[in-house]
Amino acid sequence: MSGGLIVGLDASVEGWADMSARMAQVASQAGPKWIRQEFDWSRIEPQPGVFDFSHYDQFMLLTAQYGVHVLPLMFVTPGWAGATPTTIPADPSSYAAYVAAVVARYGPHGSFWTQHPAFAGYAIQTFELWNEPYYDNGNNGDYDPGRYARLVKAAAIAGRQADPAARFLLAAENQSQLVGSSWVWWIDALYEAVPDLNNYFDGVAVHPYGTDFTDLSFPTPGQAYDGYDQIRRVEAIHQEFAAHGAANKPLWITEIGWPTCTTGSDRCTTPAGQAADLATVFNFARTTWQNFVQAVFVYCYDDDSPDSTDPEHDYGLVYNDGTPKPALAVFKAQAATS
């Protein structure tokens, strides 16, 4: 692909009370040129039609000063728009308005950059629409591909009206779920709901967590999918989109990682194993996948707890106390070429 591989990091800078100290730590230890960051809808639009960009203005100025590009995750439903933070609104117009407002502020021709022209090169180009909607916890317990497809359509239309140069990532997985007596496949169902879906997204956000680098299972209509531990399923996801006329839509791996836990998951690995797995993914991205994978964002910068018995705490490239794991060196070498 033209432009080379984008290498990024999930670093959670925005969520810290002292963003400056956090950004300095991440920049000095990991040296990312890209970070993925949640752009909290409930914080940006606490009331319908009332937008507050003060917090994200600070964040965007800070990242630009450090020479870091941002991939925003457009997520977290405010209470006035849905029952829970992960609820996809039945009427997508409210989400579309929020996306348009963020694009107008921070997109390629955003008003923020008019105020800070020296940093205009760090304007956001690509926006990730929602987080893992194909899982139950991505939509308040509901599996509803049609609702998500309509959300993407509305958001892309509104976002492009705000700035025609903005690009949008749709979230997908080889997810199948039994609905009634039939298996409903996520990608096929997106297109059933919005047949011209290809007009409304520019790339596909995928999270291919797993430990199997060898096997590759493709979806079988009418059956459950059995390849969720296969990292190479990105090839099957790409093929699924190609079958719908979207072979030219690049995949962005916006999360991938391995926890250095001791118990609690078959994905637990050693620090050396984490580094080896990360190196293998980048090798795939630069060889086998180079024609369709445009970005790899590693999850995540640091462990959020010293507890090594819960895998959710231990995906970091550094330990909770800031001590580097071997995988940090792998990431830094890759990020330097991004």
* pLDDT one-digit tens code per residue, 191-210: 999 999 999 999 999 999 99
User: End-to-end CA distance of the chain, in Å?
Assistant: 13
**HSE-up (13 A, CA, CB side) for residue 85:** 11
Model pTM?
0.96
**Distance from C-alpha of 290 to C-alpha of 305, rounded to nearest angstrom:** 35
**Distance from C-alpha of 251 to C-alpha of 234, rounded to nearest angstrom:** 8
Sorted by where each begins, the domain ranges of the chain are: 6-335
pLDDT confidence of residue 169: 98
pLDDT confidence of residue 138: 79
pLDDT confidence of residue 1: 54
**Distance from C-alpha of 317 to C-alpha of 275, rounded to nearest angstrom:** 9
pLDDT confidence of residue 45: 98
pLDDT confidence of residue 194: 98
Identify whether the C-beta of residue 256 lies closer than 8 Å to the C-beta of residue 205: no
Pair of tokens at residue 164: 């025609």
Which residue positions in the chain have pLDDT lower than 70? Answer: 1-3
pLDDT confidence of residue 311: 79
Q: Which CATH number, 2.40.10.340, 3.40.50.1110, 3.20.20.80, 3.30.460.20, labels domain 6-335?
A: 3.20.20.80
Identify whether the C-beta of residue 147 lies closer than 8 Å to the C-beta of residue 88: yes
